[in-house]
Structure 1
Amino acid sequence: MGQESGAIWTRRLSAATALVAWAALALQLGIVVEKMAAAGDGFGPALWRFLGYFTVLTNLFVAVVASAYALRPGSAMAGPKVRLAAVVSIVLVGIIYALLLRNVWKPEGWQLIADRLLHQVTPVLFLATWVLAARGAVGESGLGFSDAAWAMAPPVLYLTYALARGEADGWYAYWFLDPAKLGEGRMALNTVLLAAVFLATALIFLGLHRLLARRTS
């Protein structure tokens, strides 16, 4: 596959990834709105609840990055550092869900479809997009290990946001982030472990990016 042909296929896959991510988000939002409407809540509270999940925010991030790469691959939002942050977060969304959250509930119907799209399909599609983009990233192999900080930004920002909103309204999206259930010591340990997992994953993807870019340079 030539470089020009590879770039075309990468943009096509990125467009497909964006479409799937946007569709999954729209479906999940509709489900949340319907459920909360049944409980007497309006669109505002439903949107607030919808935006409380790292899964949703990460899929939104991926949808924006994939859209940017499909439409303007040279833009800042489609750059290697942003792609790194997105791929680390979305891959870990899939892994953490499979390990810690899959058995917590049993989604059915449209919720099952949204669940699979958000936690499995979008992560796999964006990972494939990232690999193709890295293979064609001539001149981008200069990413250094200090750029792992970009990949740490989403979880750090989310943790701050999740704890602040949980303190305000008493609702936490994930059981492993609820200080009332875990205690301060376990909560601190979970935070350190999650940070270590994100950092290790970021370093792995940095190494893969440098390797893939070097092979095509």
Structure 2
Amino acid sequence: MKEKQIKAKQPFLIIGATVTWFAVILQLYLSILNSVESVSETIIRFFSFYTILTNILVALCFTVLLLKPNSRRGIFFSRPGVLTATTINITVVGLLYNILLRQTWSPEGAQRVADELLHVVVPLLFILYWYLFAPKSGLGWKSVFPWFLYPLVYAIFVLSRGALSGFYPYPFIDVNTLGYHNVLLNCLGLFIGFFLLSQLFIAVTKVMRG
């Protein structure tokens, strides 16, 4: 890593951690404030959103790399595969929202701020961090398969809980409206998109490595 990059990394991590935690905490506050459900149910639903879980993952990554870069967790979050997988997941958050969901509602005020931070600012910040600072050695097309674990576990969780509670966080996985057949087809399409996006990131790493 070049000297200028090393000097820029620490301030970047401070900004990234601050912005991401602020966005998550603001959204939690707004969710509780505006919910008609109980606080416990609201919190469970809050943590049922892929957006929230992935932003928390990004916030943890920024924070650990800032405060404990040489710890076991710091070494874990510094791995090329972990950083790239995290970047892909937060990129998915941004793409899904801006392509499929943005037109479905019109948030205002503080909710608009939280919305833009979670779905635009944080994804762009982490993509930029990955591009500028993340190590990219040892990544190949087979590296992507372990990266499917996180979205797969998430899909199993929300579909299982939805079957019990009737709540699905996103319209494209709403079994009540679409039925299992269409939801599973949507999930398959999302996994294919995840794979293709992963391959794009792998291709970028190869170009950057020369």
Tell me how far apart the structure 2 counterparts of residues 106 and 150 of structure 1 sit (CA, whole Å): 36
Q: Is the 8 Å Cα contact of residues 82 and 150 (structure 1) preserved in structure 2?
A: no
Q: Secondary structure at the match of 1:24?
A: helix
Return 168-177 or 64-73, whichever deviates more.
64-73
User: 2:41 matched to 1:41?
Assistant: no
State the TM-score, normalized to the length of structure 1.
0.88
Tell me how far apart the structure 1 counterparts of residues 97 and 37 of structure 2 sit (CA, whole Å): 29
CA distances 1:46-77 after superposition (whole Å, capped 9, x unpaired):
21111010000110011111222223445112
2:204 maps to: 208
Q: Secondary structure at the match of 2:9?
A: helix
Q: Secondary structure at the match of 1:173?
A: coil
1:32 maps to: 31
Q: CA RMSD of the aligned region, Å?
A: 1.6
Tell me how far apart the structure 2 counterparts of residues 123 and 105 of structure 1 sit (CA, whole Å): 20
2:104 maps to: 104
Tell me how far apart the structure 1 counterparts of residues 143 and 37 of structure 2 sit (CA, whole Å): 46
2:161 maps to: 165
State the TM-score, normalized to the length of structure 2.
0.91
Shift of 1:18: 1.5
Find the partner of 2:53 among 53, 57, 60: 57
Return 156-165 or 6-15, whichever deviates more.
6-15
1:128 maps to: 128
Tell me how far apart the structure 2 counterparts of residues 159 and 45 of structure 1 sit (CA, whole Å): 19
Q: Which structure 2 segments of 5+ residues have no match?
A: none
Tell me how far apart the structure 2 counterparts of residues 182 and 149 of structure 1 sit (CA, whole Å): 28
Aligned length: 206
The letter for the 1-side match of 2:29 is: G
Q: Which structure 1 segments of 5+ residues have no match?
A: none
Q: Secondary structure at the match of 2:33?
A: helix
Tell me how far apart the structure 1 counterparts of residues 22 and 84 of structure 2 sit (CA, whole Å): 23
Tell me how far apart the structure 1 counterparts of residues 94 and 37 of structure 2 sit (CA, whole Å): 32
Tell me how far apart the structure 2 counterparts of residues 88 and 143 of structure 1 sit (CA, whole Å): 14
2:83 maps to: 83
Tell me how far apart the structure 1 counterparts of residues 25 and 98 of structure 2 sit (CA, whole Å): 22
Shift of 1:19: 1.1
Tell me how far apart the structure 1 counterparts of residues 7 and 197 of structure 2 sit (CA, whole Å): 28
Q: Is the 8 Å Cα contact of residues 145 and 206 (structure 1) preserved in structure 2?
A: yes
Q: Secondary structure at the match of 1:183?
A: helix
Shift of 1:40: 6.1
Q: Is the 8 Å Cα contact of residues 166 and 176 (structure 2) preserved in structure 1?
A: no
Classify 1:133/1:150 alpha carbon distance in 2 versus 1 (closer, same or farther; 3 Å). Answer: farther
1:149 maps to: 145
